Amino acid sequence: FDDRDGFIWYDGELISWRDAKLHILSHGLHYGSSVFEGERAYNGRIFKMREHHERLIRSGELLGFTNPYSVSEIDQACKDVMEANNIVDGYFRPVAWRGSEMMAVSAQQSKIHMAIAAWDWPSYFSPEARLEGIRLDFAKWRRPDPATAPVNSKAAGLYMIATLSKHAAEENGYNDALMLDYRGQIAEATGANVFLIQGGKIHTPTPDCFLDGITRRTVIALAKGKGYEVIERAIMPEELAQTQEVFLTGTAVEVTPVREIGEYKFIPGKITKDLLLAYDELVRKSI
């Protein structure tokens, strides 16, 4: 991914894609002191840009970062990256990390660096193709107790669990993994939140040990606007037996129907389709 044309914003400047490198002794690499965002532009506009940048700053604060840039400065930097790379429909990846100024667990005086890369990312699949649904495996790894880690931070370190879970699912022939939390309750997929439809009502786990996704909140608002009841609560995996539809939400996956989780099978239906289309419409028209 590093050898290509284009521009990356790095500590306040646009530099060539190939030159966007950092030192081996970066604290973020050794000790996981790194936070990031994933955002999408549709028709030349980043959807919920401000929310993503507010979360990036909050994620950093949870790791003790003094963020060098304001939300507005990060907004502007993304717009500069979009223009420099001629992106209309694309994916944006801001990242902030402790640099190589100090090499020890304690690195109070290290500098917080920030970079933003972006690349074209059109929508590949039609709503009809997406409605076929994906298959999830149960992950062996669990989302940790909020007393164990700053679980509300989109911190790179927490993605070790996601990568292990996704790799295992892929090796078993699945598309992704469903992670339970430290109590055994349904938590989320490796990069997306999860929703269940039971008897015409929409249920989703309370986000008390995983990200309360921006797409999750958007889809809850859309669902309520359409008159659906949305219930946030603790959900045990056995309840999948009484569940008719399942879908994931996230910046990357948008609204993605699920047709299988381990031994449980679902048929994406009216509510999933309704919300998938409503989300598609919203991202293309709103700021």
Judged by beta carbon, residue 17 or residue 121, the one nearer ligand PMP is 121
CA dihedral for 268, 213, 179, 146, sign (positive or negative): negative
Q: Does 191 bind ligand PMP (CB under 6 A)?
A: yes
Please state the φ and ψ torsions of residue 157, each to the nearest 5 degrees: -55, -35
Size of the site for ligand PMP (CB under 6 A): 15
User: Closest separation between CB of residue 105 and ligand PMP, Å?
Assistant: 25
The only residue of 216, 255, 264, 275 in contact with ligand PMP, by rule CB under 6 A: 216
Q: Going residue by residue from 157 to 186, which x/- string records binding to ligand PMP, judged by CB under 6 A?
A: -----x------------------------
Grouping H, G, I as helix, E, B as strand and the rest as coil, residue 201 is strand
Judged by beta carbon, residue 38 or residue 269, the one nearer ligand PMP is 38
Name the nearest CA neighbour of 118 among 141, 88, 145, 148. 88
Judged by beta carbon, residue 28 or residue 99, the one nearer ligand PMP is 28
Name the residue whose CB lies closest to ligand PMP. Answer: 213
Name the nearest CA neighbour of 193 among 178, 175, 181. 178
DSSP string, 234-270: ---GGGGGG-SEEEEEETTTEEEEEEEETTEE----H
Please state the φ and ψ torsions of residue 133, each to the nearest 5 degrees: 90, 155
Distance CA(59)–CA(10), nearest Å, equals 19
154 is catalytic: yes
The only residue of 59, 67, 185, 215 in contact with ligand PMP, by rule CB under 6 A: 215
Instruction: Choose, from 21, 111, 154, 201, the residue flagged as catalytic.
Output: 154
Amino acid at 264: Y
The only residue of 137, 181, 188, 245 in contact with ligand PMP, by rule CB under 6 A: 188
Structure tokens at 55: 């979360």
User: Closest separation between CB of residue 168 and ligand PMP, Å?
Assistant: 16
Grouping H, G, I as helix, E, B as strand and the rest as coil, residue 109 is coil
Q: Going residue by residue from 258 to 287, which x/- string records binding to ligand PMP, judged by CB under 6 A?
A: ------------------------------
The 8-class DSSP code of residue 153 comes to S
Judged by beta carbon, residue 220 or residue 271, the one nearer ligand PMP is 220
Q: Going residue by residue from 30 to 59, which x/- string records binding to ligand PMP, judged by CB under 6 A?
A: --------x---------------------
Whether 252 and 191 have beta carbons less than 8 Å apart is answered as yes
User: Closest separation between CB of residue 161 and ligand PMP, Å?
Assistant: 9
Distance CA(83)–CA(222), nearest Å, equals 31
Distance CA(115)–CA(26), nearest Å, equals 14
User: Closest separation between CB of residue 211 and ligand PMP, Å?
Assistant: 4
Chain contacts with ligand PMP (rule: CB under 6 A): 38, 162, 188, 191-193, 210-211, 213-216, 249-251
Catalytic residue numbers read 154
